[in-house]
Structure 1
C-alpha cells in the first residue's frame, strides 16, 4: 500500500479523435436504460463510459473495452487525509492498510476465539493512548504485544492477497491521498464474480487484526517519508499554501505523535462514517458486458446502507500578499519549489490553469523548455498544475546548474512567468498544445488501465466528466488574451517558495522501533470463505501466445530489415531504429545522444526544431543502454513523412555548438554530483559492484578528465555516423509493413554497406566464493539492504521453475518473504526477493533480495532474510496459490501493439524463436514443491552473498556489519567512477 502524492504532470485525462478535430461536437449528459438499469453518459465520449447511481447511492462507472480479457478495477472512497480527525492524523492511511486484514469470515481460523482478544487489544490501545507515564505505557505495550501474539494464533495473514493471487489478479494495492482512498486490482475478466464476492465481503465488516505489526509497517513508511526530501518539500509547500485547510494542516502519513498513539476505535468510527455507498465509487474498465456487470455489482453491494456524510468545512485561505519563504534541509541536491494558489478542480479557472502549466512546460516548446532547459540556463525546470477539490496550485520546480544559486533559479523561473504575463510566447503554442493533447488522448484510450484511472480521478475530485471529454475542444477556443489576463490575475508576488538546501535536518523525529514478538501467520490455513470463492464458477479463458512468424510482418526498406505490427485502432505511429551498439562500444554515445537536443543546423536552431516537432504532435528520443541504442519517433500517421524528414534533417545536419557543449559539460558534472547524493543510485552502484567487481557497467562512464577533453566535433561526428551502422526498423502504426517500407525508403536513407561496430568492452559477472559486505554511508533514518548472489548460466528450460519460485518466494504480498519479514516480524515496509533472468543467452542469473528497514532493525532484518535464503519454508497452500496465479495471469495476458516487437527481440537475445510463456503455462501445473526445493538447494542454499548496504554510519555499527562477511566501505569515487 502506498500514500499517493498525486503529482499530476499531464493536464488532461480523457479521449477524443484527432481525425475529427475540425468537427464541432457536443459533449452533453444524456440518460439511457439498458439491462434493467438507468445510467448517464456523455455524448461523443469515445470511452463509452456509463455512470450509474444505485438505489443506495453507490456510484458505478463502467467503461467496456474488449482489447484484453482483463478488467482494471478501482474501489474509490471520497475520504483521505483531509478528513482525518485533527487528533488522529494518518488515520485514513492506517485504515487503508487494515482493509487488507480480512473480516469475521476470512482471515480468521476461529472468529469466536479471536474476537475477545481483538476487543481486548482495542481497549489496551485506548489505555495506551490516554496514559502519559512512560513506564506505564511500556507495561501496557507489553500486554498489547502479548495479546496480539495470542490473537494472531487465530489469524490467517494475507488471506486477501492469496484470494486475489488465486484468481490471477495483478497490481494488488491501495493508496491514500488528500481526499481519496483507492483500492486497486487488475483482474481477469473471467474472475469478475470471484472478485465481487471478495470485495463485497471486504467492505462489509473489516476486522483490524494483526494491528501492531501492520502499524510498524506504517512506522516504516513514515520513516521512509522522513528520508524523502521531495516529500518534505511538498509538505512544507502545502503547509504554507493552505494554513486553514487540511491540505496543509495535516499530512497523509500523520504526525509521529499520532502514529505512536493510534486508536482502533477511532479507525472503526472513521470507517463507519465515510465508507458508505453514497461516498464510494466502483470503477471498471476492460472486457465485460456492462448490462451484465451492473447487475452483478448491484447484487453484491446492495447491502450497504447510505448515511449522511459530514461536510468538510474550512475557513477560506487569506490572500498571499508577499512571498512566503520556507526552508527544508536534507542530503539530496539543492532545488527550489514555487507554488501559487488557485481555485479548485471543478472550476473553469482550474481548466485554464492546466493550459498555463502546458504553456510553461510541455517537454518541447514551453517557455521553461525553450528558454531555461534548452538553453541550459538551469539543470532542469518544470511547471505543472496540481488540482484538488478545494484548491489548485501551480507548481514551479527548478534545479540549479553547477555554481548557480537558488535565488538565481528563482529569478529565472519568475522571469518566464513575467513573459507569460506579457504574452511573450508563440501565437501558435495553444494550437500545438491542443494537437498534442489529442494525440495523448488517443494513446490513453488504448489502455484499459488508463481509462479506469482517469474515471476514478474525476470521481474523487468531483470533476464533471463531460468537461474532461470536451477539454480539447474547449482549450482550442481559448485566446492568447485570455491566458494573459488569467496570468496577470493570479500570478504576482503571491507565492510560496521552498528552498531545499543541503544539510542535516535537525527537526527529524524518527518513529522508534517498538518491541514486537513475531506473530503467527498460519500459512497453511484457509477459511471456508476462501474455499467458497475458489468454487465460484468462472469462464474458461484460452491463452494466446505470440507467434513471431505470424504476428510480425517482415519487409525491407533498402538494405534495412523492417519488422512491423499494424495499428488498427487509431492514427498513432511509433517507429524505432534499433542499433546493436551502446555505451559498452563507446562511452561517448550516451553523451552524444544527450547533446543532440541542444543542437541546430544551418537552417534551424535547436529551439526551432523543438517547436516544429511539437507543432506536428510528434516526438523523438535516443536512448542508449549498455549494448543497444534505440531511436524512438512517434506521432500521427498523417504527419509521418514530415516527422521523419525533420528528424533526419536534425541528425544528419546538426552542427557543432561550443556553447551548447560547455553547457552540457556543466550539466553532466552537476548531474553526476547529484547522483552521488541519491541513495537509490548509490545502492544501484553497490549492486553492480557486487555483480561485476570494481569495474562494472554502472561506473563505465567518462572520467572527469575525459569529459573535460571532449570536443563538439567528436560528438557531432558520432551523431552523423549513427545511421551508417546496421540497424533494424520497428514500426507500429496504421500502415502495413510493405506500405511503411515503401514510404520510409526515400525518407530514411541507408548506405550500401554498413560500418563495423566498435568493439565493445566486456563485463563479466564475478564468481563469489565468500560472503562480503559493501557499505556506503548516507545520512538517513532507514537502512537499505540488498543481497546479491551470481548464479549459473542461462537455461531456457529452467524458466518455468524460476517463474514459480519467484511467485512463491518473494515476488508479491502473498509470498513467503513478505509474510515473514513484514507480516510476522514487522521488520520492513518494503521487502522482496527475485531470481533474475539475464537478458541474453550468454548471461548468468543473479539472486537479489531486498529489505528497506529502520537502521535499528538492520540486524534483525538481515537475520530474518538470511534464514529464508538458507532454509526454504514449505507451504503447500502458498505453493498452490503461486501456481494458480501464474496460470490465470498467463491465460489472460495479451502481448499487443509494439510490445510484440519488443517481446520478439527479448526472445531473440535469449536464443529463442518462440513465446516462452507457453512453456511456462504448460509446465507449471505439473510441478511439485519438490521441484522448487531441488532448485533452491542447487542454486541458492548455502551460497555466498554480497550484502550491499546503504545506511548512516551514525546509526549502524561497523562491527555488526562485519559479522556478515568481509567488510568494505566504498567511497563514492569507487562506486561512481568519477
Structure 2
C-alpha cells in the first residue's frame, strides 16, 4: 500500500481528468434527472456513482466502467446473522442457500403436485423441532427423508445455476455476514435482460425445496468450521469483545443445536420480514447505460412492495475495563490474537483515525510491527487489521512465536508496539505516505468492477448509501489527520481493554460435530427444464464479438542490451509494472527460496534493511520475487513518477546487499519453525500428498533443502547467489505509460547487464509417474472431516485436445451446475465442497492430470469415494446441462478481455506450450461441434475404470487405514516423506 511523499495534487493529477477529485473542491450530494428518473450523486466522485431510490423504495446504485463488456452485480439485503432470532441462529445463512432453489415458476416439474408435499415437509420439521425424544426424532426424520424423496421427483435442482451459466455469468455465489446477506454475479453486458428477469423472479416467491439435502451441506459447512482453528479463534474473540451485541453472541453459521432443529416457517418469516425493497439494493458496476438499466430494473421489480422493517437495534456495550484472556486448542500451530473494540464505521472521523493507526502499526512494509518485529525477526510473523462493522469495529493484532518463544512473549512484543504508537514513536511522514498509497490503490480500484461495487455495498449496509460522500472525500480527510490525532485516538481506545486469545496446539476437548442424519439420495432431474428456464434462455442477447489476442501485434518487442523487452502500453493512468523474468527456478536451485526470503533482511552500503523497506514504502512502490519451478520473476510496481528512484533502489538492493550472519541465523530458526508448523496444516499435507501421487516420492513439493543442508548454508554463499540473479538470462517486461523507445532508453542505464549472461544451474528433472494400479496415500490428521483427492496422470499434452478438455471440465466438475456438484452435493448431500478437473499441463512436454476432490464427514468417506468413482466410471448425460455449459463458455469467451500486462503473460504461457496463438479461439470455434458423445468417448478413454491414487487426510480415530485397502494398496505416508525434512 504506501510509499513516496508526492503531493496530493500530483497523485490526483494521474486520475483521468473527467473523474478526478480535486483537492479543495467541494464533495457534496447533488441531484439530477435523466430519462425520467431522478438520482443522487456526489460531486468529484471518481466512479461517477449514481444512487437511485425507486417508488417502492428499492435502492439502485450504478457505476459505469467500459473496460470490458461485463457487469459485476450485488443484490444485498440489510439483514444477516445479527437479525437471526436467538432461538434460530444460522437462519439467514440457511435462507441464503435456499434462494438458489427456485420458485413456483422454476425449479419445479409440476408445482401443483410438489406444493402439497412441501407443505407436509414443513409440518414434519415443526414436529421434529418440538420433539425431544431421540427415538421419536429419528422416526420423524425418516418421514422427512421419505417425503423429501417424493417431493424431489417434481423438483429440478439448480435451474438457477443453469440459467446463469447459459447467459455466461461467472462467480455466481452469495455470502452471509453479521449485517448483510448478498447475492453476486458477474454477467456479460448483453445479458442484462436475462439477469433482471431471473432475479425479479428469484425474490418473488422462493420455494424451500430440496431442503434436507441442502441442510446437510450446511451441516458439512459447520463441521468444517469446527475443524478450522482460525474460525474458532474469531468466534472466541468476538464472544469476549461483545457480551451483549450479536457480533459476539451468535455466529453466522449458527449453533449445532439450532442446526439440528430448523424451522422452515421461521426461515420463510425471515424472508418476508427482511427481503423487501426498502431493505434491499441492486448494485452494478461495468459496461452499462444507467438510463437504460434503471428503467429495466423499475419495470422488473415494480411488483415488490415495501413494508416496515425492524432492524437489529442492540443495547450498547459497556466499556471493557480489564483484559480478557481466552484459550483455543487445536492441531494447527500456536499463535496469538489481540482484539480491541473501537467505534463503528458510521463514526467517520474515528474510522479514518483507526485506519491510519492500523497502517502505522502494520502496512506490510514500514509499520511498527513490520520494522520492529518482523524485520528484526523477533517473532515468526505478525500484523494488524481492522474489521469495520456498522455498530462497532474491531482492531486486531496477531503474532506467531519463534521456536522456544512463548505466546505470552509474543503478546508482550505486540503490546509494546501499541505503547510506541501511543507515545508517538513513529515518523509523522509515514502518515502522508499512507494517504498517498491509499490514493494509488484507489486509482487501481477504478480498473476493476468488483473493486467498485465492494465499497458501494459497504455504504448501502451502513446507511443506504448516505455515507458515500464520506467515502468519496476520505482521502482528502485522511490527509488532514496529524500525528497528534493518531496518538490521541490510540490513547483513548487502546488501553488494558483488549481481549487476547491464545491459540495453543493441543486437543480440543470441547469439539463436537453435527451428526449425519440418514439421507436417501434424491432425484435432481437435471435433464429436465421448466417453461420459465426456456423463457429466460430465449431472451435475446445482442451479439458481442470475441476479441482474440494476436501475439505478434499485441505484444511489443524491444531490446535493452542483451535482454529482450516485452512491452504493453498503459494508456489509462500513470501506474507501471516492471518484471525481470529469469530463466531459473526452484528446479534449478534449492537455494532460491531461502535467498529470496533472506533478501528482505539485508542492508546495503547506505541503507539498513529497515530503511530499504521504508524507502520503497515512501516511493509508493513495492517489489516482490516470485519463484516458480523453471522461472523466477522479480517484480516492481508503482507510480511512473517514481520509476527511476524505485528501480535504482531495487537494483542497489539486488547488487550490493551485504551478508548478515545474525539475520541468517534468525531466518534459519524461523524457517525451521515454519517447517514444523507446515506439518500441522491439513492443506499443506494434502498438497504434498497430491504431489507425491503425481510425481512419486521425490517431487516438486519436497524439493527443498533438508534441515541439515539448511543449517550449512552461509551468509556469503547466499549473498553471492542474490548478486548473481540479475546476471542470469532474463527478459524484461514492462507495462506502463512510457513509450517503448523511451522505456528502453531509460532502463538500460538503470538495469546494467553483464557482458555475457551467467550460466543457469542444471535443472532437476521431475517426471509424472503412471498410475498402474489403485493406491491409497494416507496421512493422519486430527479432525472431524475427511479430505479425499483423486490423482491420475494421463497422456502427453496435445493442443488439439484443448477444446474437449475445457468443455469436459466445464460440464463435469466446474461450478454448481456441474455433474459432480449436482450429484455429490445436491442429490446425495455428501459434501459441502466437491469438484473435479482434467488439468492441462503448463508445458508441452508434460502430461495431463485428473484431479478430483471431496471434503466430507469421516463417516461418509465410503459413500463419498463410491460417489466420485461412479461419476468417473460412467459420465452422466444431461442435455440441459450440456447446452448450458456450451453457451456459458461461448458467452464467457465473447466478453473476456485480456488486458494490460496479462497480454504478455498470456503470450509467455502459450510459448511454454509450444503455441504461437491464442488458444481460446480454438476452443470457441470448436464448441458448437462438440457433443455428449465426444465427452463420453473422452471420459471412457482417459478416466473410466482406470487406476487412481487416492490421497486421504483424516484422523485415524475416525478412519481406519486398514479399511481403505478396498480402494487399493495403502501407504501411510509420514510427514517427513511428504515434506522432505
TM bracket, shorter-chain basis: over 0.9
- The question of whether the paired residues in 2 share the 8 Å contact of 1:618 and 1:635 is answered with yes
Distance 1:950 1:868 in 2: 22
SS in structure 2 at match of 1:222? helix
- Correspondences of 1:258-273 after superposition (within 5 Å): 258-273=258-273
Distance 1:209 1:21 in 2: 50
Distance 1:589 1:343 in 2: 45
Distance 2:888 2:722 in 1: 46
User: Unaligned regions of 5+ residues in structure 1, if any?
Assistant: 1-14
TM-score, with structure 2 as normaliser? 0.98
Distance 2:324 2:14 in 1: 43
Deviation at 1:215, TM superposition (A): 0.0
The answer as to 2:906 corresponding to 1:903 is yes
User: Unaligned regions of 5+ residues in structure 2, if any?
Assistant: 1-10
Distance 1:554 1:274 in 2: 57
Deviation at 1:415, TM superposition (A): 0.3
The answer as to 2:868 corresponding to 1:851 is no
- The question of whether the paired residues in 2 share the 8 Å contact of 1:658 and 1:712 is answered with yes
Distance 1:133 1:903 in 2: 62
- The question of whether the paired residues in 2 share the 8 Å contact of 1:17 and 1:438 is answered with no
Sort the Cα spacing of 1:21 and 1:634 in 2 relative to 1 into closer, same or farther, 3 A.
farther
- Correspondences of 1:113-512 after superposition (within 5 Å): 113-347=113-347, 348-462=349-463, 464-512=467-515
Aligned partner of 1:880 among 873, 878, 883: 883
Distance 2:320 2:13 in 1: 41
| Deviation string, structure 1 residues 922-974 (Cα, Å, up to 9, x no partner) | 00111111111111111111110000000000011223211100000011001
What residue in structure 2 maps to residue 779 of structure 1? 782
- The question of whether the paired residues in 1 share the 8 Å contact of 2:688 and 2:978 is answered with yes
Deviation at 1:18, TM superposition (A): 5.0
Deviation at 1:454, TM superposition (A): 2.0
Distance 2:811 2:605 in 1: 60
SS in structure 1 at match of 2:151? helix
What residue in structure 1 maps to residue 53 of structure 2? 53
| Deviation string, structure 1 residues 825-849 (Cα, Å, up to 9, x no partner) | 0000000000000000001000010
SS in structure 2 at match of 1:968? strand
Distance 1:889 1:453 in 2: 22
CA RMSD, aligned part only? Answer: 1.0
Distance 1:632 1:210 in 2: 49
- The question of whether the paired residues in 2 share the 8 Å contact of 1:563 and 1:737 is answered with no
Q: Point out the more displaced range, 340-349 or 829-838.
A: 340-349
Distance 1:702 1:588 in 2: 8
- The question of whether the paired residues in 2 share the 8 Å contact of 1:18 and 1:438 is answered with no
Aligned partner of 1:563 among 563, 566, 569: 566
Deviation at 1:21, TM superposition (A): 8.4
Distance 1:497 1:375 in 2: 24
What residue in structure 2 maps to residue 4 of structure 1? none
- The question of whether the paired residues in 2 share the 8 Å contact of 1:16 and 1:442 is answered with no
Distance 1:421 1:405 in 2: 25
SS in structure 2 at match of 1:175? strand
Sort the Cα spacing of 1:823 and 1:21 in 2 relative to 1 into closer, same or farther, 3 A.
closer
Deviation at 1:22, TM superposition (A): 7.8
SS in structure 2 at match of 1:745? helix
What residue in structure 1 maps to residue 634 of structure 2? 631
Distance 1:777 1:840 in 2: 34
- Correspondences of 1:475-874 after superposition (within 5 Å): 475-874=478-877
Distance 2:843 2:24 in 1: 52
Distance 1:711 1:465 in 2: 55
Deviation at 1:515, TM superposition (A): 0.3
Distance 1:78 1:906 in 2: 43
Distance 1:800 1:461 in 2: 46
Deviation at 1:26, TM superposition (A): 2.2
Distance 1:440 1:844 in 2: 40
Distance 2:630 2:879 in 1: 42
What residue in structure 1 maps to residue 6 of structure 2? none
Distance 1:281 1:660 in 2: 53
| Deviation string, structure 1 residues 615-666 (Cα, Å, up to 9, x no partner) | 1100001111111100010010011101100101111110001111011101
Distance 1:102 1:856 in 2: 31
Distance 2:879 2:470 in 1: 52
Deviation at 1:16, TM superposition (A): 6.1
Deviation at 1:313, TM superposition (A): 2.1
What residue in structure 1 maps to residue 8 of structure 2? none
Deviation at 1:311, TM superposition (A): 3.2
Deviation at 1:461, TM superposition (A): 2.9
- The question of whether the paired residues in 1 share the 8 Å contact of 2:67 and 2:287 is answered with yes
Distance 1:170 1:736 in 2: 35
Distance 1:406 1:104 in 2: 56
- The question of whether the paired residues in 1 share the 8 Å contact of 2:14 and 2:573 is answered with no
- Correspondences of 1:937-948 after superposition (within 5 Å): 937-948=940-951
| Deviation string, structure 1 residues 717-750 (Cα, Å, up to 9, x no partner) | 0110001111001111111222111111110111
Deviation at 1:17, TM superposition (A): 5.6
Task: State the aligned residue count.
Answer: 964
Sort the Cα spacing of 1:827 and 1:166 in 2 relative to 1 into closer, same or farther, 3 A.
same
The answer as to 2:81 corresponding to 1:81 is yes
Distance 1:434 1:108 in 2: 54
| Deviation string, structure 1 residues 861-883 (Cα, Å, up to 9, x no partner) | 00010111111111121111111
Distance 2:629 2:684 in 1: 17
| Deviation string, structure 1 residues 554-597 (Cα, Å, up to 9, x no partner) | 11111111111111111110011001211110000111011111
TM-score, with structure 1 as normaliser? 0.98
SS in structure 2 at match of 1:832? strand
Deviation at 1:169, TM superposition (A): 0.5
- The question of whether the paired residues in 2 share the 8 Å contact of 1:17 and 1:442 is answered with no
Distance 1:311 1:216 in 2: 29
Deviation at 1:756, TM superposition (A): 1.5
- The question of whether the paired residues in 2 share the 8 Å contact of 1:16 and 1:45 is answered with no
The answer as to 2:92 corresponding to 1:92 is yes
Q: Point out the more displaced range, 929-938 or 908-917.
A: 929-938
